[in-house]
Structure 1
């Protein structure tokens, strides 16, 4: 028996690939397995090749695997594009409708199943996803009753007749492939899972849940891949708590509406991707100048312009930090797991109000849309911090204004809400004095700039970096961010087998950069490798800018729209390490 297995389903977008994956993975989650999924899909509603890959394990996992054990193919293109991942002895379950073939000279076993024909016998070809699911589930030898319960939950709202038809489709697919294979495949039998309850969600859902828990009651946003699922989640959830989602006409309206609502005292967020973030820059500057809290989620994708809307990239780093004109304080947080997406969203709202600055919560497509197992969330950790929000403003002299932008020792001014007694003040995007009145005084300008830019000098963020550093002087320090963490760790395991010692650092606070936390590990390492999904080494640039040691910092870059695989980390890092030792 084995402790992990990799499964993939491929076909044309719109023909049931997503629902097949959803039911298959839901059933595995019920059994207590750890799962990590990746969606490869086209930037169109229907048509174009799509595939979903799931890694299944009895142990916690945070990356997809290099190889593949089972491929379910709805068309020949799925075999042609994905067969190279199949390990020797791997299996293809394919629809006999298209006369499937596998590459010559490979040790791939092909099970040709009349998937569409069976579905049509039951009344509609739409049920071919259930036939395919039943066939691949049967090969694993897992209990069919668990799978059937997942089917019942998926189709229960459509009535018992539909449920029965789909259950029959599962059974027929299962029976057919078991007859072909002579029973479940022993080499694909998984060890029993721990059976413990686990959450199974995408990062966007975790962000949405975190927003609700943080007290967010309004989301203003414009749909965009891969951020739209945050909207979709909150559309369903916020009304239960007296909140709502407003779909604005564009991203400019989205961010300015969020700023206005936060000014009024409602915790509000917006979410977008690179193109939308570009449009929000002037609004982000307004939030910085008026010291209005706002939380913005950037789910990075392939750019520039429309770029690769449905593909992986981490190329918005410079834009998030330096995109606004002028100089304002802002915080950029980068969660690296599903759990962190939840907790960091809550922290983003707290930091935004505590320091009265825009906070950008940045993910990438893999973290946003890749469905993963995570441990049950600890709601006792939730704390709401509204910062220097004044409950009762002091009495003022007649016609005196509240000093909303008062110069304080820590740079953070008292904040009141509109309509609050004794709280009247001006709000403007031009430079202003302590009451908000426009001012072009040189002395005032310097004082206000120093006040705003100095307020983050005492910034406290939970775990600005994550460190796994078993060595005092490692051969390599590997640095990453976002979804690359688990992949880096698996690549490190391969490097260790070759006698290459490695430490791993994940940067979670991109701005202000956590120099004190990063620099010691950079100094200790013989070589530093920064792994990132972009072409211009933006994260490596930050490390060099703030920590120096540019002579020993190298980059491993990937910008073809696909996430890193463990083998890529291993080979690229080994090559750099070997070349460095040869030079010495």
Structure 2
């Protein structure tokens, strides 16, 4: 019996690798296990090696594992590329079709099972993934009945015969493994858990669901990896709530349409990745100078240019904070778990309307596409705040030829917001500098007034932001403080106990509000540590540079990874240990 294990399925892209992992993990999630899944895939529609690694545990998970217990291989390349991760005594379940060969010196059990042959005998080779699931289930001591609900949900619309055939494929896969392993007596049976209804979703699903729950009713967007799932989710769901999604001709149109919808009083968002955000920069400035709320999701990926569109990276940080020309108030948030992604998306809409400025929700590929078990979301926590905006209010009458002072210089820098159609709310809107009524003005005095007004908006944000840092403070005086952002949180949390076992006292802080930066909070934590290390998936240490600029710190260590893969707990443990 075991409390956790790691399972991976691999083959050529287009062979159903994703669906194999999806069916396998969904069934285990429904049984009550916690899961964390991460897909390695190529930036092409078909062909090229791809794999789906699923970690299963009786306790919550937030990172992929260092090693591997079970490898399901649909081709020899999968064995050659991934077998190095296998633990001593691990298992390879391989399709006998390609005559699998175990690498020399590998301490693992290889079972050659006729996935494709069994599937063909049942009617189609497409069901070889179900045969593989059956073999995996036998290895784990699961029953075919555990998969019936998932199979029915996925294939039910195709008819009872299809459901029956897929269940038969699972049963025959189980029987084939039992036959092959009869003498080896190899099993990875999981400890039983109490079935619980929990969500199992990627970060992009959580962001999309958060947008829906937060009142968004319009999304213009252009598809791009790894952000497209946000758009795809809302295409299905927004119409049920009176909203819509429009696929635009490019990211420039998407951003300006979102600005237009927000100007009209409708909560709207757009989502993209680094290349798309580059195209949006001028429009982000338009949102800033017109003081129009705007929520943008940036799912970071490997760059520059097209770069590594399906691989992990965290290299957009500087661009998101400083990318737009000129100076505007801007908020940059960075959730670090799927659950935070849901709640932070809602908060992004609140902040955008309260401070009348662009809000960028920064994610990364590992968070956006990594799939996690999530406890039930608390919808009672949802709060909709619209700031100085009330579409039903009665405004005082305007004198003849007078405009409403949409950009009135107020004590907090935030003016009363109105939308088209409100009586006595007529005003001018332009992307050039303007006076309080919105009329263009190049007066130096007016320029100073309007710039100062806009830039003081966010002075009190830190008091209003609920939690600018996630902190795990274990020691009053630590040997090491680890800082990070986005998806590295779970990996850091897993590395900490290993460092503590080595005698290293570790504190951890994850930055959730990247701009305006919570410098006082971070500086205080840094003063309580002997050494500070910043962990990030980029080559230049962008977060470390922001911390240095904001806090004045000059002694920072960095652990950087930029090969397209997320950090593993083990490698982070070793890297941090070498620093102390």
TM-score, length-scaled by structure 2: 0.98
CA deviations on 1:279-304 (whole Å, 9 max, x unpaired) are 00000000000000000000000000
Which residue of 465, 476, 481 maps to 1:477? 481
1:14-54 deviation digits (Å, cap 9, x = unpaired): 01111111100010001000000100000000000000001
2:568 pairs with one of 565, 570, 584 = 565
**How do 1:527-542 and structure 2 match up within 5 A?**
527-542=531-546
Q: Check the 8 A contact 2:89/2:109 in 1, yes or no.
A: yes
Q: Which structure 2 residues correspond to residues 112-191 of structure 1 after superposition, within 5 A?
A: 112-182=112-182, 187-191=187-191
Quote the residue 1:278 is aligned against.
Answer: 278
Q: Deviation of residue 144 (structure 1)?
A: 2.2
Equivalent residue runs for 1:239-278 within 5 Å: 239-278=239-278
1:39 maps to 39
Moved more, 129-138 or 181-190: 181-190
Q: Displacement, 1:183? A: 8.6
What SS does structure 2 have at the residue aligned with 1:335?
Answer: coil
**Aligned counterpart, 1:199:** 199
Summarize deviations over 1:528-584 as a string: whole Å, max 9, x none.
Answer: 000000000000111111112212x1000000000000011111101111xxxxxxx
Contact 1:476 1:525 in 2 (8 A): yes
Q: Aligned equivalents of 2:71 and 2:186: distance in 1? A: 17
Q: Helix, strand or coil for the counterpart of 1:475?
A: strand
Partner of 2:57: 57
Partner of 1:362: 362
Q: Which residue of 2 aligns with 1:576?
A: 579
> For residue 430 of structure 1, what is the aligned residue in structure 2?
432
In 1, Cα distance between equivalents of 2:307 and 2:98:
33
User: Secondary structure of the equivalent of 2:474?
Assistant: coil
For residue 143 of structure 1, report the CA deviation from its aligned partner. Answer: 2.7
After superposition, give the CA deviation of every residue in 1:210-233 in whole Å (9 maximum; x if it has no partner).
011111000000000000000000
Between 287-296 and 510-519, report the one with greater CA deviation.
510-519
Structure 2: distance between partners of 1:235 and 1:427: 31
- Between the aligned partners of 1:162 and 1:513, the Cα distance in structure 2 is 55
The 5 Å alignment of 1:206-221 reads: 206-221=206-221
1:149 shift after superposition: 2.2
Name the SS for the 1:82 alignment partner.
helix
Does the CA-based 8 Å contact 2:144-2:167 persist in structure 1? no
When structure 1 is superposed on structure 2, of 391-400 and 428-437 the one drifting more is 391-400
How many angstroms apart in 2 are the aligned matches of 1:173 and 1:315? Answer: 44
Q: 1:359 to 1:277 in 2, by over 3 A?
A: same
Deviation at 1:182, TM superposition (A): 2.1
Which runs of 5 or more residues in structure 2 are unaligned? none
Query: Distance in 2 between the 1:332 and 1:252 partners?
Result: 20
SS at match of 1:482: coil
* Separation (CA, whole Å) in 1 of partners of 2:249 and 2:534: 39
Q: How many residues align?
A: 576
The equivalent of 1:316 in structure 2 is 316
Q: CA deviation at 1:186?
A: 6.2
Match of 2:304 in 1: 304
Cross-structure match for 1:461: 465
1:545 maps to: 549
1:142 Cα deviation from its structure 2 partner = 1.6
Match of 2:558 in 1: 555
Q: Check the 8 A contact 2:95/2:113 in 1, yes or no.
A: yes
User: How do residues 368-387 of structure 1 correspond to structure 2 at under 5 angstroms?
Assistant: 368-387=368-387
Q: Retained in 1: the 8 A contact 2:139–2:187?
A: no
CA drift at 1:245: 0.2
Using the size of structure 1 for normalisation, the TM-score is 0.98
**CA deviations over 1:169-194 (Å, ceiling 9, x no partner):** 11111100011112996651111123
Q: Displacement, 1:200?
A: 0.3
Unaligned runs of 5+ in 1: 578-584
The residue correspondences of 1:91-130 to structure 2 (distance < 5 A) are 91-130=91-130
Give 1:195 deviation, angstroms. 1.6
> Once superposed, what is the RMSD of the aligned Cα atoms?
1.0
1:409 matched to which residue of 2? 411
- Which whole-Å CA distance do the structure 2 matches of 1:492 and 1:355 have between them? 37
Q: Is the 8 A contact 1:13 1:41 kept in 2?
A: yes
3-state SS of 1:531 partner: strand
CA distance in 2, matches of 1:354, 1:216: 15
Answer whether contact 1:134 1:171 (CA < 8 A) is retained. yes
Q: Take 2:493 and 2:579, find their aligned partners in 1: how far apart are those partners?
A: 17
SS of the counterpart of 1:25? helix
Checking the alignment, whether the CA contact within 8 Å between 2:144 and 2:170 is kept in structure 1 is no
